[in-house]
Amino acid sequence: MVKRRIVWDDAAKIYLKKSLQYIKQDSPQNADKVKREIRVIIKQIPAHPERYPADKYRLHNDGAYRALEIYNYRISYFIGHEEMRIVRIKHTSQEPLNY
């Protein structure tokens, strides 16, 4: 089993940070809970990267792009040889866009 490191794209980090700030306006506890759970699930991905289905919104996806949903957030990631790259985070209520 290859142990891959996790790398975040800047756009994904910024989107998550803004989302957590928005949640925090109404409930700091919920913002902390969402942040904690997203971190836990992302840390588990390298152990079983193919656990989640192929990202249906990724154009020309050969299966290297996967996606999961947690707390109404869709997290897309890329399985590389040496790293797992978190490429997108979007709220599920947003219009899905192909990328």
Domain contains 98: no
pLDDT in tens, 13-60: 999 999 999 999 999 999 999 999 999 999 999 999 999 999 999 999
What amino acid is encoded at 96 in this protein?
Answer: P
Domain contains 35: yes
Range of the domain at 12: 5-91
Going by pLDDT thresholds of 50, 70 and 90, the confidence category of residue 1 is: low
User: Domains in the chain: how many in total?
Assistant: 1
Domain contains 63: yes
Would you say how long the chain is, in residues? 99
State the CATH number of the domain containing residue 86. Answer: 3.30.2310.20
Does pLDDT of 63 surpass 70?
yes
Domain contains 96: no
Going by pLDDT thresholds of 50, 70 and 90, the confidence category of residue 3 is: confident
- Taking the model in full, what pTM does it have? 0.89
Which H or E run contains 46? none
For residues 17 and 38, give the distance between their C-alpha atoms in angstroms, rounded to a whole number. 12
